[in-house]
Amino acid sequence: MKRTIWTGGLASLAITAASVHGQPEGESGYVIDWVTIDAGGIASATGGGFEVTGTIGQIDAGVEMTPMPPVPGRAFSMVGGYWAAPDREDDCNDNGINDLQEFMDGAIADCNCNTIPDECDISNGTSFDSNPVPDAMPDECIRWIAGTGSWTDAPNWFPPVVPGGVPTADHFVTIAPVGIATVAGPLALQTGMVKLIVGAVAGGLDTLDVRNNLFVELSTAIQPTGRVRLVGQTMPSPVTGSISGGPVTIAAGGQLNTFGAGGLVRQVVADVDNSGTINVATGHTFDMGDPLDLEPFEFINRAGAQLVATSGANVKVHSLSVTQQGTITAQGFATIEFTEAALVNAGQMVIQGGSLIVPNGLLNLAGATITNGGGTAPLTIDGDVTNEGQIVFLPGVPFILNGTLTTRSVCQANGTANLTFNDVFMIGPGGEYTGGGSLAAVLDAAYVTVMCRGELRLEGTMALDVAGDLFLDGTPLPDSACDAEGGPTEPVLNLLVNAGLTVSGDFALIGCATVHHSSSTPVTLYGDFVNTATAVCSGSAVFDWDGSLVMAGSSQQTIEAAGADVGPAGGGLPGSFKIGTVDVSANANVRIRDMADNQADGASACDEALYVDQFILRAGSMLTLENCRVYAGQITNNGGTVNTIGCGALVPISGLDLADFCNFQACWYGQPPCTPGTPCSAFDYNASGTINLADFALFQQAFGL
């Protein structure tokens, strides 16, 4: 009940001596100890159980009087002055009553104590009312009053209404699917909640805004499936479609799914420990970790867990540390990018038409054995891989890439690593393929291209089998990517110790390139030896081929004669492109010709030659010398056929002695050679069928006359 204090005219003068300063007198009420007669004032004032009204005889204009000292539960004030309407700025709900007056009336609530009516907090967006049935109470005023229990049990909450929005509690909370509808909008978990265990929610939770390092678990402890659904939001909004703050654990059987329209961004700005499934839907963008790289979050994909990006999805893992023990799958045109990660992979990468991109981090593939039905399953990527960090291939698990691997940094094959690249292996500017450990890795590749500043380094017993072509391409790039301060700019091939190289297609030197071949294992070539490199390359380009080249093709192969033809001594000169040994296999057909102006002196017939230390012709082989000479330190013909065109000739360049002079002279005159068993065909350098003046001139050069 309200008690009314009337103030007005001379009547009020009669009670001025009863009390002072509006203090209570006795049990029942108040007296006014003095008054003045003024014009105006407000009509009434209320507070607690009191109402004060007045006309004339109000307190002085502009004076506000309150109980002294304040009386708990009986707050009010008396304001003197002219009659006036309430201050509209303090009437946020536009009902014509001042908010302060409504507070004192108890007509409106301020549960979050911010001096703004709750209904205005909600209407202006300061707070949310996300309950399935809105109750005009800001979400932050809801309290969890139970211990561990079901989210959908209303008695666990104060007020006893199951919230759809922001709960606050000091205990564990389990969301169970008992009759709950879709929880839409932001679910912001405030200070005080320790852990949120998500069993299953019909329709999923759109957003988790995890604050103060709350622990979130998508669990199967209560229900078979724990599932959170991220709807997404156009950036830069950090709220809708995101989990942020505390760590997120997805238990076995739990799910974190993206949902809704494509083209939106979903985020998990937190540590993620996945033993369940993360599904990124078609066309969705999903960011994990901190896109701004301000926090060193971690992503663990445990054994049996899955990260699946469906066709057209774009997954970016910004976590600084990534441990991959489960399965990562990119389907269709999906892309999975590890932007900063030190990615340790001991699981399975299945990139089914998509791409795996590692622009800055360490991609350590096959860190442990994968068991599949008692056997060892290969690590398979059916898509493209771009490496600008470091890729380390370890022994134990075969690695199969059914796409293009482009590396602009280090690819290291350790020990007995077994690699299969079924598309192009591109060693880009600054890239390197090398070995580690016992240096016994085996790489099968469809095509290999080494670009400027790239290096293909095989040593130990490492082996490279190229099903297609191998290119050392020193063509300068327009973006100056080939430039290197104080270092070589050309592509490099290093074959060292016992390393082996087999090329089923062409072996090609384009522009300036460096080759070092000192391996005891020959390079076996089934295609053409193409050489458009020039002897006048700037920089440090070197052709240093001391090892063996085996020509083993089933159809005709060609070798470029690239050295300047300056006679038998030319093999020791820079830019001669001398090869240690050329071995023409049994039944192989090889044509040596001059097609490129390697000396950059203007192409002309017979001005370039091939220099070799040893030339071997196997039984049934055929050698055609087309308008160029081959100068060989040692010639071994085990039943091969030599054909010449124009100035073509096979010329010995060393090892001739007086016995050879005697034999040549005897063959010149049609007599038996001085050394029994020496065929006269050995001196038929131009393969004319007879010993003639051309052969005599070449013999003189070889003998040093």
**For residue 221, what pLDDT is reported?**
37
Tell whether 687 is covered by a domain.
Answer: yes
Rounded alpha-carbon distances, angstroms, from residue 641 to 159, 383, 699:
101, 47, 20
Rounded alpha-carbon distances, angstroms, from residue 20 to 13, 57, 66, 476, 544:
13, 17, 12, 98, 112
C-beta of residue 560 within 8 angstroms of C-beta of residue 531:
yes
Tell whether 674 is covered by a domain.
Answer: yes
**For residue 698, what pLDDT is reported?**
76
CA-closest candidate to residue 317, choices 283, 366, 272, 380: 272
What is the rounded distance in angstroms from the CA atom of residue 135 to the CA atom of residue 353? 50
C-beta of residue 559 within 8 angstroms of C-beta of residue 577:
no
By the 10 Å C-beta count (0-12 exposed, 13-18 middle, 19+ buried), 700 is classed as exposed
Rounded alpha-carbon distances, angstroms, from residue 172 to 183, 457, 512:
19, 57, 68
Tell whether 590 is covered by a domain.
Answer: no
- Indicate the DSSP class of residue 233: B
C-beta of residue 470 within 8 angstroms of C-beta of residue 443:
no
Cis peptide before 236 (omega within 30 of 0): yes
C-beta of residue 488 within 8 angstroms of C-beta of residue 507:
no
What is the rounded distance in angstroms from the CA atom of residue 446 to the CA atom of residue 424? 6
Q: Which residues pair with 371 in a beta bridge?
A: 376
Q: How are beta strands 390-393 and 410-414 bridged, if at all?
A: parallel
**For residue 462, what pLDDT is reported?**
97
**For residue 107, what pLDDT is reported?**
83
What is the rounded distance in angstroms from the CA atom of residue 417 to the CA atom of residue 407? 18
Last residue in a domain, options 53, 84, 115: 84
C-beta of residue 513 within 8 angstroms of C-beta of residue 533:
yes
Phi, psi of 666 (to 5 degrees): -65, -45
Question: Residue written as tokens 């072509």?
Answer: 469
Tell whether 220 is covered by a domain.
Answer: no
CA-closest candidate to residue 547, choices 563, 511, 571, 523: 523
**For residue 83, what pLDDT is reported?**
46
Tell whether 311 is covered by a domain.
Answer: no
> What's the domain count of the chain?
2
Tokens at 361, concatenated: 């981090």
Tell whether 114 is covered by a domain.
Answer: no
Tell whether 456 is covered by a domain.
Answer: no
pLDDT tens-place string over residues 661-695: 888 889 999 899 898 878 887 787 766 778 888 88
Tokens at 304, concatenated: 């049996």
Domain of residue 64, residue span: 3-84
Tell whether 695 is covered by a domain.
Answer: yes
C-beta of residue 581 within 8 angstroms of C-beta of residue 522:
yes
193: Cβ–Cβ under 8 A, 6 or more apart, which residues?
A: 144, 167, 168, 169, 170, 171, 173, 214
Q: Is 6 helix (H, G, I), strand (E, B) or coil?
A: strand
**For residue 155, what pLDDT is reported?**
81
Q: Which residues pair with 684 in a beta bridge?
A: none
Last residue in a domain, options 84, 106, 138: 84
pLDDT tens-place string over residues 367-397: 433 333 334 556 677 778 888 878 888 777 6
Q: Which residues pair with 615 in a beta bridge?
A: 582, 635
Q: Is 15 helix (H, G, I), strand (E, B) or coil?
A: helix
Last residue in a domain, options 62, 84, 106: 84
C-beta of residue 503 within 8 angstroms of C-beta of residue 526:
yes
Q: How many CB atoms lie within 10 A of CB 640?
A: 21
Low-confidence ranges of the chain (pLDDT < 50): 1-28, 39-42, 57-58, 68-75, 82-88, 165-193, 200-207, 209-213, 220-226, 233-240, 366-375
